[in-house]
Each structure stands twice: as structure tokens, then as C-alpha cells.
Homo-oligomer: A and B are copies of this chain.
Amino acid sequence: MNYCSVCGNPVTLAIPQGDDRERHICNHCDTIHYQNPRIITGCLVTHDKQILLCKRAIEPRKHFWTLPAGFMENGETTEEGAIRETWEEAKATVKSEGLYQIFNLPHINQVYFFYRASFLNPQSSTPLFAAGPESLEVELFSPENLPWDQLAFPVIKQTLLDYLGDREQGHFPVRDQKININALLQQNTNAQN
């Protein structure tokens, strides 16, 4: 951020009175511009024990598989956003079966929501899913065929691992987890050595 979005004058970085961290401040109109984490919301759609994944058509992680998910928009709930993103990326009309996963990614200022979901009309004569503009392919994977080496993000791998374990137990507690980027980098370094 270089300029004030309210008045167009340059902003400076400074700690406002009564605050304890630097903000972008406009000395012309006195606006303090806060920057906050963003929410990404999506669905883990299952059908006959299979899981719906999308192959990404866009960077980052183009050609890797992901759960349909994207940035939450103003004016919607996290659940509505998850259903909308599933339509946009997988052309699948789904109903939510409840909140399942929260992931905090503080190194990139993101918070993920995943909802368990199923097709709204599984008996429909129209295709249950298709690639949206941000997907190259959309596919249902049985657990033994999941593309573990081709998953786009750590949150996707963790959600799938948790889901398969929880399904064996027959219950799906809401999980609130943190992706520890330092631990992941360490793992990768070790794997490369």
C-alpha cells in the first residue's frame, strides 16, 4: 500500500496512538488503513465413499489437485461461500453437511474453512460435476486412488488425511488447526537431503 484509498495522498507507516503495531496512515485525511487476514472457504464433497477434487487451471500450483475453495466474498456466509466456490470450480450443486475444518495459515494471513458436503441431486440426469474456468479437470477419487503426490496445498492433504481417519471412526469433529510452515519447510529440507 502506497496511497490512501480514501483521498489519494501518499500513506506512511507508523504506530497510531494507542496501538502497538505499524499501520498505513494517511496524514492528509487521518485514515488508518488496517490489513487483516482473509478467509478461504470450500467443500469436501463426497459421493459413494469417493471424494471430489479439482485439478487447478491457474497458478499457484497449476496442474495440482485441490478441494474446491476460494476467497470468501462480502455479503455471504462461510458456508454459502463454500457452496458457491464448489459451483464455480467444479460445477457441482452441493448441500453442506456442516463445518469440518478450520486452518490457520498465519505466515500468509489466511484462514481456511472446509465444509463437508454432498451432491444436492445425486440422481440428476445432468452431470454431477464438470470443470469450471479455474479447473482443468474435476474427478471423484476413491480413497485408494487419491493423488497424494499431486495435491496442491498442505491444507488439502491434511483435510483428506483427517477425513479418512474420521470416517473410520464414524464421526467428524470440527477441527481447528494451524499449518506450521517452519515444520513443513524443515520436512522438505530433510526430504531433499
Contacts and interface: CB of A to CB of B under 8 A. Distances in A.
Interface of A: 1-11, 18, 21, 33-39, 71-80, 98-99, 102, 104, 106-107, 109, 111, 133, 173-174, 176, 178
A57 to B, nearest CB: 11
B4 A37 contact: no
Given A37-B39, A74-B35, A2 B6 contact: yes
A114 to B, nearest CB: 12
B111 A76 contact: no
Secondary structure of the A contact surface, majority rule: loop
A5 B2 contact: yes
B7 A73 contact: no
A75 B109 contact: yes
B99 A174 contact: yes
Given A4-B5, A39-B36, A77 B99 contact: no
A12 to B, nearest CB: 13
A38 B78 CA distance: 12
A134 B24 CA distance: 22
Q: Which 7 residue pairs of A and B lie closest in terms of their CB atoms, listed nearest first?
A: A3-B8, A174-B174, A77-B104, A99-B176, A74-B109, A1-B5, A5-B5
Given A5-B1, A7-B3, A176-B78, A34 B102 contact: no
A9 B178 CA distance: 38
17 contacts: A1-B6, A2-B8, A3-B4, A3-B6, A3-B8, A5-B11, A36-B39, A36-B74, A37-B39, A39-B111, A77-B178, A78-B102, A78-B176, A79-B176, A79-B178, A99-B176, A102-B102
B2 A3 contact: no
Contacts of A74: 35-37, 106, 109
